[in-house]
Chain A
Amino acid sequence: MSKTMISYSSITKKIIMALAGLFLVSFLLVHLSINILVLFDDTFELFNQAGHFMVTNPVIQTIQWVLFFGFILHIILGVIIQIQNWLARPKRYDKKYPSEMSFFSKYMIHTGAIVFIFLIIHFANFFIKLKFGNVESITYESGTYDNMGQMVYNLFKDGAYVVFYIVALLLLGFHLDHGIQSAFQSLGLNHTVYTPVIKLIGRLLAIFITLGFIAIPLVIYFFK
């Protein structure tokens, strides 16, 4: 797959990168809306119910594969683009003024790489345990579910993990700050009136997603 991707035109790569990226943003919003439920009640009933819905609903299970594909596409293309870009300037400048108008655009590969490492650890912590490990179940009036809420709670009581989680999420926020508005430019949408609005919404969305995710471990660690 990656062999044919190298031969893609630079604009084709950009467009695929943008579409995959925007899809991943929509996933983040869904993920956040479910995560936030863990704070709603001490028995984690809402959260566990939502989790149960996500792992059993056939539509979600199908989209999960699209999501997985989106991640792979975004990551492989990102790496290809970066390597080609390094090769395009074999001799670097002695002195370089930061001319970039989108600050975090300079660090997309770096923030992306750390988010990727986070993703692997995150995957091992939750997804694999859930699919193959034995998660304790809990019974409510509404039914019996895997007690994922307790898993989240236990992890977020570990200070080191909380720090790592927050750092990774902040970097994700920086990644999104450039990424969201950049996706629209890549798709050919640039407008004197709408582009500043898109940039603002992109930044607000990046802040919202980051703060939203970060708030959960902070609340659990300090107040629960």
Chain B
Amino acid sequence: MDLTLKIWRQASANEKGQFINYPVTDISPDASFLEMLDILNEELVHKDEDPVAFDHDCREGICGACSLFINGRPHGPDKGITTCQMHMRHFKDGETIVIEPWRAKPFPVIKDLMVDRSAFDEIIQAGGFISVKTGGIPDANAIPIPKRVADIAMDAAACIGCGACVAACKNASAMLFVAAKVSQFARLPQGKVEARERVQNMVAKMDELGFGNCTNTYACEAECPKEISVSHIARMNSEFLISKLASQKK
């Protein structure tokens, strides 16, 4: 396959960026998207040019490191997968592929296609944990949790924190990410103890960092590589409402 890549190049956070077109030739349709970028980078290194910076780690769709806004969609055109799992067969020979970084105020560009997603870490630090010593692994079924509830918590826990929801949302809202984390803990007995403080603290941090407001467009669910449902957002909304109504001044 011969392709033209229209890639966002930006030397650093403070410098102005621009799109640069790179032709790539003879790409196998079975190559992964990141392998294709590796090939481009090798060529750039050979020509003594600066390779394109992009995030990646496990390359098997579980770490949440890879990003890339490909042809207007986070993680590209295929549904329910991350960029690293996408193959070139989803593109047409001769096509121009536009590759951009995630765009959101709380996700500043570090270089080229890499953005700083530590805003998500800050949200987790605000309450995305359980503050008890959990000890060793408990025996199966030692803590009785109905299967249905465990399944919902597990669905929420599938979130890999890649930021595709923020990237896809027209408001750059982080609601799906925060909701997945809030919902995952709120459903389980270990997490219920701190549920009220958790939802308030995490939402407050999310707002403080400058993410947008959710307007229920559901682009997040459509583009999430782990297909996290917006029902978690509704659950967070009700968790938040209940925590606000029930909270008492100390």
- Chain A: residues with CB nearer than 8 A to chain B? 9-15, 81, 84-85, 87-97, 99-102, 105-106, 108, 178, 181-182, 185-192, 195
Residue B124, interface by CB 8 Å? no
Expressed in whole angstroms, the minimum distance between the Cβ of A87 and any Cβ of chain B is 7
Q: How far is the CB of B164 from chain A (nearest CB, A)?
A: 10
Whether B219 and A101, one on each chain, are in contact in the complex, defined by CB atoms closer than 8 angstroms, is: yes
Contact between B105 and A89, CB atoms less than 8 A apart: yes
CB–CB B237/A15 < 8 A: yes
B104 → chain A closest CB, angstroms: 6
Cβ of A93 and Cβ of B207 under 8 Å apart? no
Per the bound structure, the CA–CA distance linking A85 and B213 in Å amounts to 6
Q: Which 10 A-B pairs have the closest CB atoms?
A: A188-B238, A190-B234, A88-B212, A97-B72, A85-B171, A99-B219, A101-B218, A88-B172, A105-B217, A188-B237
Contact residue among A9, A10, A102, A108 (Cβ-Cβ distance under 8 Å from B218):
A102
In the complex, chain A residues whose CB is within 8 Å of the CB of B215: 81, 85, 105, 108, 182
- Interchain Cβ contacts under 8 Å between A and B, 20 examples: A10-B203, A10-B211, A13-B213, A85-B215, A88-B104, A88-B106, A88-B171, A88-B211, A91-B103, A94-B98, A94-B100, A97-B71, A100-B222, A102-B217, A106-B217, A185-B233, A187-B237, A188-B234, A190-B233, A190-B235
- Contact across chains for B222 and A15 when beta carbons are under 8 A apart: no
9 extra A-B contacts, CB within 8 A, seeds A81-B215, A188-B235: A11-B236, A85-B171, A100-B170, A100-B217, A101-B219, A101-B221, A102-B216, A105-B215, A187-B237
Contact bitstring B97-138, A, C-beta under 8 A = 1, else 0: 010100111100000000000000000000000000000000
Residues of chain A within 8 A of B239, CB atoms compared:
188
Q: Which residues of chain B (1-27) have a CB below 8 Å from chain A?
A: 6, 8, 19
Binary per-residue interface labels of chain B (199-231) against chain A in the complex, 1 for a CB within 8 Å, 0 otherwise: 000011011001111111111011100000011
The CA-CA distance from A108 to B73 in the complex, in Å, is: 22
Roughly how many angstroms separate A90 CA and B211 CA in the complex, as a whole number? 11
Cβ distance A197 to chain B, nearest Cβ, rounded Å: 15
Closest B residue to A7 using CB positions: B207
CB pair B236 A90 closer than 8 Å: no
Min C-beta distance of A39 to chain B, whole Å:
36
Distance, CA A96 to CA B206, complexed state (A):
24
User: Does B86 make an interface contact (CB < 8 A)?
Assistant: no
- Contact status A95-B212, CB under 8 Å: no
Interface residues of B (CB under 8 A from A): 6, 8, 19, 69, 71-73, 77, 98, 100, 103-106, 168, 170-173, 175, 203-204, 206-207, 210-219, 221-223, 230-231, 233-241, 244
Smallest distance from the beta carbon of B17 to chain A beta carbons, Å?
A: 9
User: Smallest distance from the beta carbon of B238 to chain A beta carbons, Å?
Assistant: 3
Q: How far is the CA of A87 from the CA of B173 in the complex (A)?
A: 11
> How distant is the Cα of A195 from the Cα of B234 in the complex, in angstroms?
11
Give every chain A residue within 8 A of B216 (Cβ-Cβ): 102, 105, 178, 181-182, 185-186
B19–A94 CB distance below 8 A: yes
Distance A101 CA – B224 CA, assembled complex (angstroms):
13
| A95–B217 touching, CB < 8 Å | no
Bound CA span A75–B218, Å: 22
Cα of A90 to Cα of B172 in the assembled complex, Å: 10
When chains A and B are docked, how far (Å) is the Cα of A95 from the Cα of B219? 15
Bound-complex Cα distance A93 to B206 (A): 22
In the bound complex, do residue B214 and residue A10 qualify as a contact, i.e. CB atoms below 8 Å apart? yes
Q: Is B238 a contact of A189 with CB atoms below 8 Å?
A: yes
A89-B72 contact given A15-B241, A187-B238, CB 8 Å threshold = no
Q: Please measure, in the bound complex, the distance between the C-alpha atom of A89 and the C-alpha atom of B159, giving whole angstroms.
A: 23
B221 proximity list for chain A (CB < 8 A): 101
Alpha-carbon distance between A15 and B233 when the two chains are bound, in angstroms? 13
Residues of B within 8 A of A13 (CB): 213
In the complex, what residues of B have CB within 8 A of residue A99's CB?
73, 168, 219, 222-223
Closest Cβ of chain A: how far from B215's Cβ, in Å?
A: 6
The CA of A92 and the CA of B73, in the complex, are separated in Å by 13
Structural contact, B100 and A93, CB atoms closer than 8 A? yes
Give the docked Cα–Cα distance between A192 and B234 (Å): 12
